Structure 1
Amino acid sequence: MAVLETLPVTALRGVGPRLAQQLADYGVTQVEDLLFHLPLRYQDRTRVTPIAALQEGGEVSVEGEVRLADIVFGRRRSLVARIQDGTGTLTLRFFHFTAAQKHSLQPGARVRCFGQVRRGASGYEIFHPEYRVVTGDQEGGGIARGQGEWPRSGQRKWPGPAGSHIEGIARGASSHKEGIHKQGEETLTPVYPTTNGIGQAQWRKLCAQALQRLEQAQPRDLLPAGSGLRFTLVEALRYLHAPPPDAPLNQLLTGTHPAQLRLALEELVAHNLSLLRLREKQQERAAPALQSRRAGPLQQALLTGLPFDPTAAQLRVMQEIGRDLARPLPMLRLVQGDVGSGKTLVAAHAALQAIANGYQVALMAPTEILAEQHRLNFAGWFEPLGIGLEWLSGRVKGRARKAATDRIASGEAAMVIGTHALFQEDVGFHRLGLVMVDEQHKFGVHQRLALSEKAGIDGRPHQLVLTATPIPRTLSMVAYADLDCSVIDELPPGRQPVTTLLVDSQRREQVIARVASACSEGRQAYWVCTLIEESDALQAQAAEATAELLQEALPELTIGLVHGRMKPADKAAVMAAFKAGTVALLVATTVIEVGVDVPNASLMIIENPERLGLAQLHQLRGRVGRGGGASHCVLLYQSPLSRGGKQRLVAMRESNDGFYIAERDLELRGPGEVLGTRQTGLMAFRIAELPTHNHLLDQVQAIAGNLQREDPAVVDELIQRWTGSKARFAEV
């Protein structure tokens, strides 16, 4: 928006330094931001309801004559007015009022008021209604403190989406004697998202002024004419800030109105284009062409040495990656698969292709437990092939760290596995040809790219992103549009589905008895503790207390404890003991969510599972069911369950399919929670909502592709309009 995108809100009437700062704290700095600050819901003040037809809880407009008004002294001093309309009597009650308001509500005055109906001692009442006094063609009156404005009537008719009604809104933007904006009664009244210190009256006044400015500087439509759109950009903005009285409220509330779809489509196209631009930037520089024929002997030796055969899905994904690595353009590929589908083997197969061509490989994991698990797996596969590994995490200090970073920098270490420590300043690579990031959603786009900058080669390394949190197709189209996607949609033969049980915490003793029975038969179990607070200290205390109680109840069992406050060496020792079978029951926080592979563990108890999201519950459940026998997961919930908590737990009981679980998680919690906050820098949509607008995504991809090929100038405008500074990712 050539003008509005640079016009500060201080250019609007009534915006001084204090309000400007409040708006800036809320993320509104330009007039353009106000146009896209759309209402959460709407109030219908255009229809007058007879008092006799009022129902408790309804938000209504009522018009009547004041028959009595007086100050009442009770537990709280209040101004009470009673109005009649010929069908009944309604009480208006104000706990905060001025002398001017009392004066305006004199017997005989006619008022129109709006508010929520409640039942009082003497019939229906409205507390702190918004109102105006009607005297012929004139109007006066007051507004209860803290309330929004009451709209003023105008003469205009609603012309439909193609016409202009901004003039009427501009007329309504003039202030009455108390400085409160009045909007026309011919439209539904918007209720905007807000923050402390900014009332609905201010939002309506500011947005009306922004619409007036929009009329003076209309932006051009950037979507192709053949996109099947009923609204232009300007028409959609007008409609959504001031819908006509007959607007379909249900569509507006659910985000499915054509005006909302028009804006959502353009925003999703812009978002998709920004990620495609990121991909273009990443592929402007060449990558090493890693010939698959050189890796053939090593890769064959890896597969031959396995005690099982790879699945057809694993072999297919290996081929997809192999083709990408052989090209002189940087591979940007996401590999996703359910818990236990064999992503680590696929990653090892890809790593050998880089190593056989003389390049280093870096594998970054979000936690030390997961990084350690990868180290053990890769060591078991690579050491027989004569390939050395280096492991680097935050707990590698002093001389050991210096020696490790020297081996990495010299190229002596062909395979490097670690945590966030890999992209710290003192770490540099000799010839980094392949970067692999596990559980990408735990990091962020910029961290993945920062690791690529350490390559030590003329060009960029290939990138392989792994996730054991299946991502719904619709969400991956939005969040990972810069990556090609491979799916391992097959589990290894012999994997038994985990039976999931929902058990009320009142039956805790029965669950403890079940743990004792399983362990007495030589099996092992997990007991996972969760807390609402994101405090490592509190989570550690909860786990320690649970471990003590379980040890008292089960003195015959060896019980281990793992939580985030433990020293890494102590944590590693407990995990090693559990894997070796000397610890029968492992009490842990959610640090064991990924990376723990103990085939003999067949029972998991998750305490207070209603506090976790579906994806995390599914990851935890994936720690069992890795052996040949039957496995169980007990969700020990605290009743009563909320509606959302019950839906999540029932979904867990219904299915072991990670992709089904991911779809349900997206429906219940939205994309921000599914992807994790670190990944959602580009997901803070202004208008679009997932999964509400999932059905637009195929159209989004088609439009974005056409614009890339046919109108690059429009691509730049769209990205700037909707993502602005967020497009900085493309420059990393």
Structure 2
Amino acid sequence: MVRHILDTPVEYLKGIGPSRAEMLRKEIEIRTFGDLLHYYPFRYVDRSKFYTVREIDSDAAWVQLKGRITAIQSVGSERVSRLVMTFRDSSGETELVFFQGLKWIREKVQVGREYIVFGKPNLFQGKYNFTHPDIEPADEEIQVHQEPLQPYYSTSEKLKSRGFTPRNFVRIMRTLLSQVYQAIPETLSPQLIRQAKLISRAEALFNIHFPRDPQSLAKSQERIKFDELFFIQLQLLRLKYIRMDKVKSRSFVKIGEFFNSFYRNNLPFELTNAQKKVIREIRADLGSGKQMNRLLQGDVGSGKTLVALMSMLIALDNDCQACLMAPTEILASQHYKTISRMLQGLTVEVALLTGSTRKALRADLHTRLQDGRLQILIGTHALIEEQVQFNNLGLVVIDEQHRFGVAQRARLWEKSAIPPHVLVMTATPIPRTLAMTLYGDLDVSVIDELPPGRKPVKTYHFYEKDRLKVFRFMKEQISQGRQVYVVYPIINESDKLELQDLMDGMDTVSRYFPLPEYQISIVHGQLKAAEKESEMKRFLEKKTQIMVATTVIEVGVDVPNASVMVIENAERFGLSQLHQLRGRVGRGADQSHCILMSSYKLTIDGRKRLETMVRTTDGFEIAEVDLHLRGPGDLQGTQQSGLVGLKLASLVKDEKLLRLARELAYRTLDEDPKLERPENQPMVKHLQSSEFDWGKIS
């Protein structure tokens, strides 16, 4: 098979060679011509203008000077040293300061020689200097000033020491493009290029490195961003089309006695319009004859469990079993108690299976599950054990699905000869753009209303000086029969972090809330599971009024009587975590309160997070703010560079382009589901050559 020129090892490019190629591989993972071609500039600067030293001011982001080095001096100890150069032009002098690569820089620069210096000025003790600027001999200057926008490539001190300066990267890219430009393959069909109003891929890749003007740069960036977003969406939607075409499931056409009796007699509250809409979507999926793969998003307390139960009752009406898998014993037990309570009076067999289930009980459970008497099984990872065998599994519900691995989830639906329907739930609101990318192969339903009678939690931000006021408020709430959570970011005192810790906090709370009038539970990650269960149970049974805890109570503790959540060092928590913690209160009919305690030292982002929490209880709005503050890399435990794989496109800034890419991916597959048409072969080749690692997400 003939290798494409873009697959050529980078050592064969003129001016690189084996040892420098090895440095590129180690430092920035560039192995081939193609890798180098896709190493985009991170900035473009106007290198057509020269400043004088006197013209430097604080508004100048980047400055280019021409002058002479008049002195070079090593400053500091042998262990911590720096190189300081005096640079002079006709208007005055400034200093160039280097902290790394000193030996290489010292050998390169000569006193008295004329240089071009390019860098960002810093104001230090009333004078401007430059830290690690680019410095090139003026008499060796290549013709880089003919174009207004100059590419600027990210490099490192090690790379610079081997000649990979930003200036030399420009030379290398020119050499590369002269060799590969004619061979750059198109990846989109002509129809798609017309529909999205894009330039060709070859033109885009040339202009991303050497733009003629800002307009050509913008068009190049748009084309490359579109490609990144389009191929992710195309791959996800292909998975969905393949599943819909090949994976058949049972058709649940019957709505019978289980569902109808529950609806008439056991419904705990009137369904919201959002719940009704989601149940209609699920019913349509279950009756289609194709496997349902649906993501159910709903804020804390929005009634997802009720929707899941009604879906399971449809499975029962069609002579099938259902199961619900949760990530922790606490959450599984909570679901078991909630569902058992909701089903009181109905002849539905429900059981709980966790790692703590006794051996004798487990054996009986396995027997009843296999002969079909046990209709709904709720549990943890224990559900995927080999000895757990269903008689006729028709529906799998997975809660907080991002806490399970792909292989673990897949083992559940392998327990049935006919693939069961799958309903995935999350209480972590996912921004639309991220949902399209992380869960693009799933159908998405959203419950965006709270059940009737639920009041939004009131949220306040206080500082340390307000602590006595907060304690008085806690006492008032406890005197009214309510309960309080106090959450700390760490368990023990840390020398490195100036944070409130749980152990010290427990002492403080105990002094203000003394025995025997007040009882306190304590829960943290270092306790054994049985100890945690015991403490949680005491709180749930109202034997304690205050629970001092770390974030282990973030998910799965449902105490309707708890009305106050105090979060210490709230500025140290992410928005989604703050929102999850706040969701532990407000689960009853009484007004609930969330108090965010913070230090006075707040970063801009920290202040923005706390202001957002005080302003809104809308989980989806909070998720959007979180996406803008943190980027997609930190959300849902993914890394943008890994799972999402975007170099230029941003899920935050390019939502409009993402929507267009998804729409055109849909249209492409609608017209050619198997991508067999000749005009779509460039896309197929690109998909085959790209390292997409999506697997089965649901």
Alignment TM class, shorter chain as reference: 0.7 to 0.9
SS in 2 for 1:416: strand
Aligned residue among 23, 46, 60 for 2:63: 60
Aligned residue among 192, 195, 198 for 1:227: 195
Deviations 1:151-171 (A, max 9, x none): 62269x65xxxxxxxxxxxxx
Report which stretch shifted further, 202-211 or 257-266: 202-211
Deviations 1:669-719 (A, max 9, x none): 222333333999642323221110011133112210222134515767547
- Give the paired residue count: 673
CA contact (8 A) 1:332 1:464 kept: yes
Please tell me the residue identity of whatever aligns with 1:133.
P
Please tell me the residue identity of whatever aligns with 1:153.
Q
Q: Give the drift of 1:418.
A: 2.0
Q: Give the drift of 1:526.
A: 0.9
Aligned position for 2:92:
88
What percentage of residue pairs aligned between the two structures are identical? 36
Aligned position for 2:258:
298
SS in 2 for 1:240: helix
- Structure-2 change in CA distance of 1:292 and 1:79 (3 Å): closer
Q: Give the drift of 1:10.
A: 4.5
Q: Give the drift of 1:366.
A: 2.1
Aligned mates of 1:105, 1:48 — CA distance in 2: 21
SS in 2 for 1:317: helix
CA contact (8 A) 2:41 2:151 kept: no
CA contact (8 A) 1:445 1:679 kept: no
CA contact (8 A) 2:651 2:658 kept: no
Deviations 1:632-678 (A, max 9, x none): 11001122111111111111111112222222222222223333339
**2:222 aligned with 1:218:** no
- Structure-2 change in CA distance of 1:652 and 1:680 (3 Å): farther
- Structure-2 change in CA distance of 1:127 and 1:415 (3 Å): closer
Report which stretch shifted further, 98-107 or 720-729: 98-107
Aligned residue among 696, 702, 706 for 2:663: 702
**2:169 aligned with 1:190:** no
Report which stretch shifted further, 319-328 or 356-365: 356-365
- Structure-2 change in CA distance of 1:632 and 1:71 (3 Å): closer
Aligned position for 2:42:
40
Aligned mates of 2:588, 2:125 — CA distance in 1: 68
**2:347 aligned with 1:386:** yes
SS in 1 for 2:378: strand
TM-score by length of 1: 0.82
- Structure-2 change in CA distance of 1:490 and 1:690 (3 Å): same
Q: Give the drift of 1:292.
A: 4.0
Q: Give the drift of 1:373.
A: 0.9
Aligned positions of 1:10-409 closer than 5 A: 10-12=11-13, 14=16, 16=18, 20=22, 23=25, 27-55=29-57, 58-65=61-68, 68-69=70-71, 80-85=85-90, 87-92=91-96, 105=110, 107=112, 109-118=113-122, 124-126=128-130, 129-135=133-139, 139=140, 152-153=142-143, 187-192=149-154, 197-199=158-160, 201=165, 207=173, 210-223=176-189, 224-244=192-212, 247=214, 257-293=218-254, 295-303=255-263, 304-382=265-343, 384-396=345-357, 404=365, 407-408=368-369
**2:532 aligned with 1:571:** yes
Aligned residue among 691, 698, 722 for 2:652: 691
CA contact (8 A) 1:474 1:694 kept: yes
Q: Give the drift of 1:74.
A: 8.1
SS in 1 for 2:489: coil
Please tell me the residue identity of whatever aligns with 2:258.
L
SS in 2 for 1:725: coil
CA contact (8 A) 2:554 2:580 kept: yes
Aligned mates of 1:532, 1:262 — CA distance in 2: 49
Aligned mates of 1:7, 1:425 — CA distance in 2: 48
CA contact (8 A) 2:10 2:16 kept: no
Q: Give the drift of 1:296.
A: 2.2
CA contact (8 A) 2:181 2:206 kept: no
Aligned position for 2:484:
525
Aligned mates of 1:133, 1:543 — CA distance in 2: 59
Please tell me the residue identity of whatever aligns with 2:200.
T
Aligned mates of 1:390, 1:523 — CA distance in 2: 31
Aligned residue among 411, 415, 421 for 2:376: 415
Q: Which runs of 5+ in 2 are unaligned?
A: none
Q: Give the drift of 1:502.
A: 0.2
SS in 2 for 1:61: strand
SS in 2 for 1:339: coil
Aligned residue among 608, 614, 618 for 2:569: 608
Aligned mates of 1:72, 1:613 — CA distance in 2: 44
CA contact (8 A) 2:187 2:682 kept: no
**2:468 aligned with 1:506:** no
SS in 2 for 1:487: strand
CA contact (8 A) 1:597 1:626 kept: yes
CA contact (8 A) 1:54 1:117 kept: yes
Report which stretch shifted further, 701-710 or 629-638: 701-710
Please tell me the residue identity of whatever aligns with 1:705.
Y
CA contact (8 A) 1:273 1:715 kept: no
- Structure-2 change in CA distance of 1:10 and 1:437 (3 Å): farther
Please tell me the residue identity of whatever aligns with 1:59.
W
Q: Give the drift of 1:503.
A: 0.5
Report which stretch shifted further, 264-273 or 235-244: 235-244
Please tell me the residue identity of whatever aligns with 1:694.
E
SS in 1 for 2:214: coil
Aligned mates of 1:615, 1:94 — CA distance in 2: 41
CA contact (8 A) 2:628 2:652 kept: yes
Deviations 1:351-386 (A, max 9, x none): 011122222222122222211111111222346322
Please tell me the residue identity of whatever aligns with 2:234.
L
CA contact (8 A) 1:441 1:678 kept: no
SS in 2 for 1:188: strand
Aligned mates of 1:99, 1:656 — CA distance in 2: 56
SS in 2 for 1:686: coil
Deviations 1:436-487 (A, max 9, x none): 11122333555433432x2321x32111111222223333222222122222
Q: Give the drift of 1:584.
A: 0.8
CA contact (8 A) 1:336 1:469 kept: yes
CA contact (8 A) 1:502 1:634 kept: yes
- Structure-2 change in CA distance of 1:46 and 1:444 (3 Å): farther
Report which stretch shifted further, 437-446 or 636-645: 437-446
Aligned position for 1:3:
4
CA contact (8 A) 2:184 2:201 kept: no
Aligned mates of 1:27, 1:98 — CA distance in 2: 26
- Structure-2 change in CA distance of 1:4 and 1:484 (3 Å): farther
Aligned mates of 1:623, 1:37 — CA distance in 2: 46
Aligned mates of 1:31, 1:60 — CA distance in 2: 32
- Structure-2 change in CA distance of 1:302 and 1:206 (3 Å): farther
CA contact (8 A) 1:501 1:653 kept: yes
SS in 1 for 2:50: coil
CA contact (8 A) 2:63 2:120 kept: yes
CA contact (8 A) 1:519 1:584 kept: yes
Q: Give the drift of 1:557.
A: 1.0
Deviations 1:37-80 (A, max 9, x none): 323323443321122212257532111356x4466788768574
